[in-house]
Structures are given as structure tokens and as C-alpha cells.
Amino acid sequence: MPTIHYNYAIKHLNSFGIDVNAKLFTEVRTEEELKTLFSSAVVKENQLLVLGGGSNMLFTKDYEGLIIKVSIKGIDVKDDEHHVYVTAGAGEVWHDFVKYCVAKQYCGLENLTLIPGTVGASPVQNIGAYGVEIKDVFESCVAFDTQTNQLVTFSNKDCEFAYRDSLFKSKAKGRFIITHVTFKLAKTPTLKIHYGVIKEELAAEGILAPSIRDVSDVVAKIRVNKLPEPKTIGNAGSFFKNPVVSQSVFNKLKEKFDDIANYPLADGSVKLAAGWLIEKCGFKGVVDGNTGTWKNQALVLVNYGEATGLEVYNFSEKVINTVQNTFGVTLEREVNIF
């Protein structure tokens, strides 16, 4: 049975660096430990929250239940003629896992370099960056069903992946604890370098025929220059999702805001850049008490010091209301609020 800690400080376990406690806290390192934990009373008597790296969470108060940190490790590789099937434990650190795959020349994860968090959380919001989403390389995952206490395997289709969303973040939120994820990666590189800044940075560095490592290095460079490092400035990455609007709504916005950043989607709708909307409302790099937005990307809300989660949350309300009043567009939080 994994050790249960009482009134456990989790400031170092959330990338916003919010100083809160969990009433109960435990860490599981194997599927067997999970099963044992779920046969105990502590699970039945408390509300539960699964924690990976805490990089997509905002705690607005102490957590009055049991936090289960998933620290299942290990990497296993199988292959066929064209692909490698790499299975990683949910507790593997995402960026270390990407580095491992890049070093082995397994192609598919390089655009997702330097995303904080764990492998187990990667399917939850179908992590994505620079034109690639996890669904593009996700083969399957194994998860512990907290309702039946059984391990279940999910295929790509089962996960109902959508833009920064999946079954695990929507209708089955909180039900499954992902223990292992398998990625289908290519032996022959088919790089995705169409995304603007990647193309520009490769060109600036004079790289005409990039390797998997080149793409990973370029992404790392872009991110380090643009995004705040959570260990120095607490944050959880993009605080809001990019809103998607219909073509007719977009046309009206375009009449009023000629330079509005937009990306047409295959179904005819239009993705707006939430960061652009927030910046246009005058929020880029603002400091509001202990919180505010990042100087290089207004979409990232930050903890400038000793912010409470409630302060950050209230500031996010202010941003939502201002964007709504200015553009008539409703921003939805991407970060999980507890």
C-alpha cells in the first residue's frame, strides 16, 4: 500500500507554484500499487484528483481530498518494418521521453519538445504544438478504471481526441487513471515543418534538410525564448483555448478588426488566436497584483510572486470579460481549475 501523507504541501508539485495543501496525498509507482490503493477505505471516503506534473492546473484553494500522483516509470519498444511502438509509463517526464525518442531517431514527437508534464497526461488534453497533436502518433493507452477497478485499453478512436480535448478531459473526466501510453513513431522521418516559426527558424539557421534532432532543437530554442520557465515564473502555459468561430461570425469580426489573427479550419470554421485577442485588449505583459500576463505571450497567465490561485482565477475572469466585451468572443479556460 503506498504511503498516505496528511496535509501535504503541493507548491512544488504545480507549475503555477501556488502554495496550497492536499488533505491527503500519495504517490503510485506501479499498477499493482494503484489496485491496492483502490481496495482501501481512503479511496472510498475521499474525493480524488490524479496529478502528473501539475503543469496544467490552477489550485484556487487547498484540495480537500486525496491527490494521487502517478509516478509509473519505464519505456518499452517494439517495432515492425516501418514503425516503432514505444510504450512509456505515465510518470515518465514528457520532455525526457521526447529526448529519448529524438536520440533514437524515432520520428513524430519532435514538435512536442519541451512541453512540461508527464506522459500520462499527454492524451488528457491531446497536447499539441507547432502543428502536431498527440493524436497524430497515439496508438493506445492503458488506464485504470476507478469505477470497476480494472485496467482498460483505449485505442486512438476510443479517446475521442479533439482540439486540446479528449474523453479523459470531457465526459469521462476523473474516471480513468492512465498508466501507460503507446506511441506509433516512424522509422523514416516525415517531418512537419509547415508551422510559421519553425520554417522561419530553420531558414534563419540555414538548415535546408532538417533532421529529427534539428526540428526538436529549433522548437526548444523558440520555446525558451518565448515562454516563461515555470521554475522561475509560475505558469501553466496557455491559460485559454483558441476560440473557434463560424465563418459568418469571423466575417463580421474581420470587418471591424482587419488584422485579426485567424486560421481557417477544414470544416469551414475559423480558429482565432486567443493570445492576439487578449493582447489587443491591452493585456500583454501586464502586472495585476501578484499575477498578470507574460511579456512575450499574453495567453500565458503568470504568478509574479506569491499569487494565490484565486488571484490568478479572478484575473482570468477579468480577461474573459474584457475579450467578451471587445470582440463578443467567449474565451474558455484550457487550464484545469481546482
What counts of helices (H) and strands (E) characterise the chain? 8, 20
What is the smallest separation between the CB atom of 101 and ligand NAP, expressed in angstroms?
A: 18
Q: Which is nearer to ligand NAP, 7 or 170 (CB)?
A: 170
Number of residues forming the site for ligand NAP (CB under 6 A) = 18
Alpha carbon distance 136, 163 (integer Å): 12
Amino acid making up residue 289: G
Asked whether the beta carbons of 1 and 37 are under 8 A apart, the reply is yes
293 binds, among ligand NAP, ligand FAD, none (CB under 5 to 8 A by kind): none
CB-CB neighbours of 39 under 10 Å: 11
Alpha carbon distance 243, 300 (integer Å): 15
Indicate which residue of 164, 201, 216, 333 is catalytic: 164
* % helix, strand, coil for the chain, step of 5: 30, 30, 40
Q: Catalytic residue at 238?
A: yes
Q: Catalytic residue at 29?
A: no
The C-alpha angle 154, 158, 162, rounded to 5 degrees, equals 120
Grid coordinates representing 261 are 489573427
Q: Binding string to ligand NAP for residues 286 to 305, with x set by CB under 6 A, is what? A: -----------x-x------
Positions touching ligand FAD (CB under 6 A) are: 15, 49-57, 70, 90, 115-118, 120-122, 124-125, 127-129, 164, 168, 176-178, 227, 230, 235-237, 336
Alpha carbon distance 228, 278 (integer Å): 17
Residue that is written with C-alpha cell 513524430 in the block: 108
Q: Which is nearer to ligand NAP, 152 or 224 (CB)?
A: 224
Indicate the SS3 state at residue 297.
strand
Q: Does 123 bind ligand NAP (CB under 6 A)?
A: no
**Residue of minimal CB distance from ligand NAP?**
237
Q: Does 220 bind ligand NAP (CB under 6 A)?
A: no
Indicate the SS3 state at residue 224.
helix
How would you label 310-327 residue by residue, b for 16+ Cβ within 10 Å and e otherwise? Answer: ebbbebbeebbebbeeeb
What is the smallest separation between the CB atom of 67 and ligand NAP, expressed in angstroms?
A: 21
Q: Catalytic residue at 334?
A: yes
Q: Which is nearer to ligand NAP, 147 or 232 (CB)?
A: 232
Q: From the list 28, 114, 215, 227, which residue makes contact with ligand NAP (rule: CB under 6 A)?
A: 227
CA atoms within 13 A on the CB side of 208: 0
Q: Which of residues 185-204 bind ligand NAP (CB under 6 A)?
A: 195-197
What is the smallest separation between the CB atom of 328 and ligand FAD, expressed in angstroms?
A: 26
Q: Does 242 bind ligand NAP (CB under 6 A)?
A: yes
Query: Which residues in this chain contact ligand NAP in the complex, by CB under 6 A?
Result: 128-131, 195-197, 226-227, 237-238, 242, 263, 273, 275, 297, 299, 334
Active site residues: 164, 238, 334
